Amino acid sequence: MPEIWLSYGATEVVLDIKAENLERQIGSEGKNLSDPEIASKLESIDLTKPTEIVILESTKAVQKTILSLFEICTKKSIPKPRILVDKSNLHLAKNMFSDPSITISEFDNSQLTNANLMFVGEMGFDGLFGYDTVATKLLRRFGKDQMLEAYEKRNGNIPHPGEDIASIEIAKKFTDGFDISALEIVANSSGIVDVSAGHPSSTITLSKSMSSMTINEIGKHRILFISTGKETSNETLNKSLSSLWNCANVVKEEGLAILLAECKNGLGSESLLQYAEGRMSLDRLKSPAKYIDGMENLLFLTEIQKQFKIGLVSILPQYYVKDKLSLIAFEGTKESMEYVLKTYGERQKAVIVSDGSRVLLR
């Protein structure tokens, strides 16, 4: 019996599956850059100018990229830029950067007009925009009024990750109004694949590099186990759903996709919370008068559930998972595997996706 370890929060959990039940295991791909290659891509950044680094996502790839920048500063005898991070993530940043010469401070939302800011994020996929970039992250955070326009430009009522969607033009236009810079990173589970520095509206072009290494054409399958592959992608249900959208195209009608997402910080969006508490109707999602955080994921979830079943291994209360969101709630991987064999037969084969946030299945 093979042991397959899958990311679940800050740890990994084992999925015990018999060899005869394992169809295949899929992880992220791409050729990793060496340390000198990463440094070479960062050399174009003028660090002699006042710079403050804003961390948008605390991943290993983000950490490695910033440390590479600091090594360049040391070699050139340039002061290291100050790191800015949300108050809730200050402790994570201090663990990531223990060097006492590095200054870490709380990021103030009112600072967006500061031309010294360099926003650093790891690129991913997004059901609404096609790609999750520095520009889309900034739009979601600072452009609440423009988010309704982006939502209205969505491509139907199901997610379209990895596609060119008109919604992303709203993000480009929004960030064009700010004199800021970005560091966009493409990574896999073992390292950094590509890095681009520049204005957030231009670093979006790195999405082409990401698409080329992430698409897997595997046909349709009845059972999928999906791990997001990184801790920041399964902190909340709202974030983890992107990994489900990345794999939705290959789940057969009436099949089952089981998402492994710890969700230690809960549902993660106002829309999911309002719906769970009976304060939002599904009819309101099609043509809302106002955009509410996470609205697209709730819409996508209700539409995708018409095609196949969705299971969730998490620490969320069954009240939310089963009773309100109509998902199949599992307390662990053992229970989920037992459910598959009991429901679909002892010989049922499953596809295991170990890095769902960084793959695109077709």
pLDDT tens column, 30-43? 889 999 999 999 99
Asked if 206 and 123 touch (Cβ cutoff 8 Å), the reply is: yes
How confident is residue 22, by pLDDT bands cut at 50, 70 and 90?
A: very high
pLDDT of residue 333: 96
Span 327-331, average pLDDT:
97
When mean pLDDT is compared over 47-61, 187-201, 239-253, the highest value belongs to 239-253
Give the domains, in start order, of the chain with CATH numbers: 3-28+214-361 (3.90.226.30), 35-211 (3.40.50.11440)
Taking a C-beta distance cutoff of 8 angstroms, is the pair 238, 274 a contact? no
**Residue 230 pLDDT level (bands cut at 50, 70, 90):** confident
Residue with tokens 């998402």: 259
Residues in the chain: 362
Q: How does strand 104-106 pair with strand 82-85?
A: parallel
Over range 131-146, report the average pLDDT.
Answer: 95
DSSP bridge partners of 184: 121, 196
Residue 3 has pLDDT above 90, yes or no: no
pLDDT at 189: 87
Taking Cα atoms as reference points, which of 331, 352, 40, 304 lies closest to residue 197? 40
Is the pLDDT at 113 greater than 80, yes or no?
A: no
Total-model pTM? 0.94
| Mean of per-residue pLDDT scores for the chain | 94
Tokens of 147: 């988010």
Query: Distance (Å, rounded) from C-alpha 18 to C-alpha 310?
Result: 22
Q: How confident is the model at residue 307, as a pLDDT?
A: 96
Structure tokens at 123: 């690129």
Query: Residues 293-306: pLDDT tens digits?
Result: 999 999 999 999 99
Q: What is the pLDDT of residue 328?
A: 98
137-141 average pLDDT score: 95
Contact assessment for residue 124 and residue 204, using Cβ atoms and an 8 Å cutoff: no
Q: pLDDT, tens digit, for every residue of 168-224?
A: 999 999 999 999 999 999 999 889 999 999 999 999 988 887 887 888 999 999 999
- Long-range Cβ contact pairs of 64-68 (< 8 A, separation 24 or more): 64/38, 64/191, 64/192, 65/38, 65/120, 65/183, 65/185, 65/192, 65/195, 66/97, 66/120, 67/97, 68/35, 68/38, 68/39, 68/42
Residue 109 confidence (pLDDT): 75
pLDDT greater at residue 114 or residue 129: 129
Return the pLDDT at 211.
82
Q: CA-CA distance, 199 to 207, in Å (whole number)?
A: 14
- Element at 114 (helix H, strand E): none
Helix residue ranges per DSSP H, the chain: 35-42, 60-75, 90-96, 134-142, 144-152, 167-176, 200-203, 207-214, 237-247, 270-276, 283-286, 295-304, 318, 333-344
100 has a pLDDT exceeding 90: no
CA distance linking residue 18 with residue 138, whole number of Å: 44
- Calculate what percentage of the chain has a pLDDT beyond 70: 99
Give the model's pLDDT for residue 1. 65
